[in-house]
Homo-oligomer: A and B are copies of this chain.
Amino acid sequence: MKKINVGIIGLGTIGTGVYKILKERRASIKDKYNLDINIKKCCDISLSSKRKLKIKTDVFTKDFKEVVQAKDIDIVVELIGGTNIAYTISKEALKNKKHLVTANKALLAHKGKELRKISAVNKVNIGYEASVGGGIPIISSIKDSLLINKITSFCGILNGTCNYILTLMSNGIDFSKALGMAQKEGFAEADPTLDINGKDTAHKVSVLCQTCFNLNLDMKDIYTQGIKEVTSYDIEIAKNLGYEIKLLGISRIKKNKLDARVHPTLIPQNNPLSNVENEFNAVLVNSKNLGPFMAYGYGAGMLPTASAVVSDLIRVSRAGNLYETDKDEIKIDVIKFENIKSRFYIRMMIKDEPGNLGKVTSILGKYKINIDKAIQNNKNLKLKAIPVIIMTKSLELKVLNKAILAIKKNKLIQNESLVIPVEDFA
């Protein structure tokens, strides 16, 4: 039986989960995988987890160097997050010819290319199953099965916090109350900025682009729009039109151009992603031969994410020397967001004066924007402006933006308008 010595750096939520699973399932993992995974070192700057988990003093350290430099450690598990110390740790571990397992999407989004290079030179592996979709085995499904075929696109509900909030909002609860409830339930952090503004999802899109397309993107090439501007009114109207509103991370290659973006999206209710509720995540990957494949499960949480980390430990241990080869990078143009062609959902607050709706639609007409549906709702009588919903036919976003600017200049609307794409996955 192969014995693997593991060093865990970072004993926060996920680190604690990994420690627990490895202790609890050690015998079962021996039996099922013919592997003895031994926790050789644990590292954290605080002593609280050491006490809680009753970690022996000779196993615990506050100095990560004792882990990344230890001669008898085979795999370093980096679970501290962020892109500073985590970067140093990861680099050092790989340079010392230790496999790296990490759940750190920000690190991979910003430094994935460099770390893969170092891993290839040193003939060690990087396992990052836990960085996207929590416990869902999506990275290994892509790498071990889907990549046989040419992957053409993916889209996913990649942030449990946003999905939980949008699910509450679809029951009529407004954004700030929903956020508070999510925080209370442990589905949103005290500072939820990175989740709400879509950046966490964008990091995951970057990791998936590396995995699916062998492409390392600049974060600025991924258009990123969060969920703050979506109201429960939008969700209600969308529902009546046969759609759900989800925060999606989307990327596709079309005519040798890459489209990568994060934004709230209207998706048809018969799409399998539309049933993904609460804190769940799901990733849909399209490839030739295989067609659409979707994986669904808990996108966060201590034990699901820890389980993904442990699956990487097993994969990396069994894989022998299947290190990432240092492949030539693919060069590809990135489509700017304003150049995407799509159907759009628009919610404008039109000032409640006679003739204004006609003026708005005639400006849209001037820009040759075809309207599929227009809904005016006078229910909100307290407001000085009336929400008007317009569903367009397919057009370039740039044109729509120009039209909306013209409508603004004519002082026909109040506040910002919400403009989000409709994806039919056709």
State the A residues within 8 Å of B (CB).
17, 21, 25, 28-29, 31-32, 34, 129, 135-137, 140-141, 144-150, 270-272, 274-277, 282, 288-298, 303-304, 306-308, 310-311, 314-315, 318-320, 322, 325, 327
Contact = CB atoms under 8 A, between A and B. Distances in A.
Given A135-B290, A296-B296, A297-B290, A31 B327 contact: yes
A308 B31 CA distance: 26
Q: What is the total number of copies of this protein in its complex?
A: 2
Contacts of A315: 144
Contacts of A307: 145, 148-149, 289-290
A149 B18 CA distance: 12
A315 B182 CA distance: 41
Given A136-B293, A297-B293, A270 B277 contact: yes
A304 B286 CA distance: 12
A307 B293 CA distance: 12
A140 B148 contact: no
Given A307-B148, A314-B144, A325-B34, A272 B290 contact: no
A34 B327 CA distance: 11
Contact of A145 (B140, B318, B325): B140
A34 B323 CA distance: 10
A1 to B, nearest CB: 11
A304 B290 contact: yes
Contacts of A325: 34
B277 A275 contact: no
A294 B297 contact: yes
- Complex A-B, nearest 4 residue pairs according to Cβ-Cβ distance, in ascending order: A137-B145, A289-B303, A294-B296, A293-B297
Contacts of A274: 275
A325 B29 CA distance: 13
Contacts of A28: 148, 150
A162 to B, nearest CB: 18
B145 A291 contact: no
Contact of A21 (B141, B147, B148, B311): B148
Contacts of A303: 288-290
A312 to B, nearest CB: 9
A311 B293 CA distance: 14
A311 B34 CA distance: 22
A291 B296 contact: no
Given A140-B145, A295-B295, 9 more contacts: A135-B289, A137-B144, A140-B140, A140-B144, A148-B310, A270-B275, A289-B303, A289-B306, A318-B319
A314 to B, nearest CB: 7
28 contacts: A17-B289, A21-B148, A21-B149, A28-B150, A31-B327, A34-B322, A34-B325, A135-B290, A135-B291, A136-B293, A137-B146, A137-B293, A140-B140, A144-B311, A145-B307, A145-B308, A145-B311, A149-B307, A270-B275, A290-B304, A290-B307, A293-B295, A293-B297, A294-B294, A294-B296, A294-B297, A295-B295, A320-B320
B290 A293 contact: no
A390 to B, nearest CB: 28
Contact of A293 (B32, B135, B147, B322): B135
B290 A298 contact: yes
A305 to B, nearest CB: 10
